Structure 1
């Protein structure tokens, strides 16, 4: 056997995007762990911190489609290197924030910087990954984000206790710049441009990544053309529901569990890491399930069934957590909810690559924009509902209802049809 085929080059690309997803969520969740010292240093209320957390989602949402279009046009090599450098700068600048307004601005720009990460990954996946491997590859990438967040909860809690919250943000910013340099040096936009790839692997990728193009898939597109697609609207709606659930784990889960059950910072970090680890398992399981169903000749079912099953688990987990009166019980049900919510990610992003093809960056960016409007609402709704009702019950009921609605949306989606056709 040719030694060059033992470790396919596309797997090194997947390793790079896995590490990117891990870094993405380490940087993102750090603000949740640092909530108390930041609030104390600047005299911020929970509602003000809700706006700080929401500002990220707003910046992240607004720049999804533009950054996806840029990744399609200029390639994920340049775009990902640039945007990781930008968001790493604003990660570091978070450590220099001195009041509510400065923190709000920095976190909005940080979100705008992170916006192109997953659309850029989707564009790289279209070029490098065969259709039958997209489920597991997408699952691996998103599991990196969950493992990154799970690792960050206790690790960042320790860093903040040891070095202070400002220094912690400086360190994380520097790590991001190192990834950006390595990506630009080693990655290439297309397999045919990579000098180290074997002819066997190159031919395999080019012949199996997707076999049908439409005229529009070769043309430049704009936001309006995407919004004419029913597939696009359905993808946006279900991803709004998914992010409503998951973003709670990134923002309010840590302070909620710590306050509700009287835990220390490090204890709360370990407890709230568990749902995110379950999220990684959800991504792996869903990715495997997608590819297993696809290999049996069921393209539509390979996307719709794993997503719908995930949304059902998420609804059960959120609703069940309402009745728990101890930290362990609440965390177990919330782990089921995050496991389910993360099961929806591989089919969602594989769906975007399916219907977007060479415009996968723009399509996935538009879907992710809608999802992060859901995240924006989550960040604000949790503290406001808590202040209004004195309990978290209504928030979890709303989340469960949205998950059930998403199942209905999925059964109207058509992965085999390009966004220009449906």
Structure 2
């Protein structure tokens, strides 16, 4: 019996690898910062500004990248974005002082901004509704896996060859991926010679509008897309989600050292555990959503029940982490929090796909993601002021938990069926 081969899983494999590279590249500066600080004598405030500069370019180009993906397709946008940010990653090796690092980091954020939104656009084009959440989960799981791998990879390269060489090597990996993506991918399955009519029919099953080439898709005014209640509410909720994520990324290591008294080596090991559990959370979240959808045939319910339940659990665990005494309990509770937090992530990207026409998913997803990533600027700074004024970390954990509860409840009460979702009529090319 002839075994059916679906090329969409090759596309998803490439997207997964891109997300791994994305997070390795993004985390590289944090891992190399002790070496850079020693060489350039950076102050804590200068380091904070360098880290924050990434999000100014990143948040803006989440939206710009999504809009461009709708107009020109994921193939072009991801090729240019990966090439650009890889070059900027390698250019970090040429930085010679605070200002040069600041500029390179901001431009690096510009390059990385389009990746998640454009990958979501590609998933929307290449996967049927019944598999989308699972595909999103697999794609996005590359992020926390890359975060877990960044420490040993960049740390080893920096110790072996120097921190400058580490940036050049991981930049080369990104350029190689961009070449592979350009040669192997198309923006839609209609355009790819390896996609069979049977696979295309499977991809089109249950769609409001059959997938088509980007050039043939009609346009809807951008404001009409981004000002929909579901898009705005989902973006605000994702801001709350990301606040917890960036709070964990930026302040949890310092909390373990300052408040719990563990050493740097132990901190490096234990902070990898939440990332690894988060990888499993991404994968499980997508499978769980698709399973609920297949059994209930209720698309919105399958997204909301996972998002609301898991985000509430994550929020409570985050708040509890600041109250437990032992290091072991602290790490375990935070690991549970991050695991449930990552379980919710595929639901956000699935909700945004359901809220708007397929040909505008990039624009809506980019707006949602850009709005959410403003938390990368807010969370580290707000937490710093809270800790400085209160003299304790517990209030910072409490605020992160409270925002998580808000993010869950607004989705529960304010995201409904997209009854007026425009569905333009056109035929596939």
1 CA distance for matches of 2:110 and 2:220?
21
Deviation (angstroms), 1:417: 4.2
Q: What is aligned with 1:168?
A: 166
Moved more, 201-210 or 190-199: 201-210
1:375-407 CA-to-partner distances (Å, cap 9, x unmatched) read 221232333433333332222111000000011
Q: How does 1:280-319 map to 2 (within 5 A)?
A: 280-295=279-294, 296-319=296-319
> For residues 81-100 of structure 1, what are the alpha-carbon distances to aligned partners after superposition, in whole Å with 9 as ceiling and x for unaligned?
10000011111122222222
| More off after superposition, 376-385 vs 256-265 | 256-265
Give the match for residue 392 of structure 1. Answer: 393
Verify the 8 A CA contact 1:50 1:383 in the aligned structure 2. no
Q: Deviations over 1:80-122 (max 9, x none)?
A: 0100000111111222222222222111111111111111111
CA contact (8 A) 1:299 1:416 kept: no
Return the offset for 1:224.
2.8
1:78-157 matched pairs, under 5 angstroms: 78-157=76-155
> How far 1:311 moved relative to its partner?
1.1
Q: What TM-score do the two structures reach when normalised by structure 1?
A: 0.92
Equivalent residues of 1:47, 1:384 under 8 A apart: no
**Which range is displaced more, 380-389 or 29-38?**
380-389
- For the residue of structure 2 that corresponds to 1:220, the secondary structure is coil
Matched with 2:235 is 236
Matches of 1:86 and 1:418, distance apart in 2: 38
Please identify, of 134-143 and 250-259, the stretch whose mean Cα deviation from structure 2 is larger: 250-259
Q: Distance in 1 between matches of 2:367 and 2:290?
A: 24
- State the secondary structure of the residue aligned to 1:414: coil
Partner SS state of residue 373, structure 2: helix
Cα distance in 1 for partners of 2:420, 2:91 equals 41
* Range with bigger deviation, 259-268 or 96-105: 259-268
Report which stretch shifted further, 104-113 or 26-35.
26-35
Match of 1:414 in 2: 416
Mapped contact 2:60–2:110 kept (Cα < 8 A): yes
Q: Is the 8 A contact 2:300 2:351 kept in 1?
A: no
Offset at residue 343 of structure 1 (A): 1.7
Q: Secondary structure at the match of 1:323?
A: coil
Alignment TM-score, normalising by the size of structure 2? 0.91
Change (3 A) 1:103 1:223: farther
> Which residue does 1:371 correspond to in 2?
372
Structure 2: 5+ residue stretches without partners: 424-429
CA distance in 2, matches of 1:415, 1:321: 35
Question: Deviation digits for residues 339-358 of structure 1, max 9, x if unmatched?
Answer: 12212210000111112321
**How many residues matched?**
416
Partner of 2:426: none
**Residues 272 and 154 of structure 1: CA distance in aligned 2, closer, same or farther (over 3 Å):** farther
* Structure 1: gaps (5+ residues): none
- Rounded Cα–Cα distance in structure 2 between residues aligned with 1:254 and 1:119: 28
**1:353 corresponding residue in structure 2:** 353
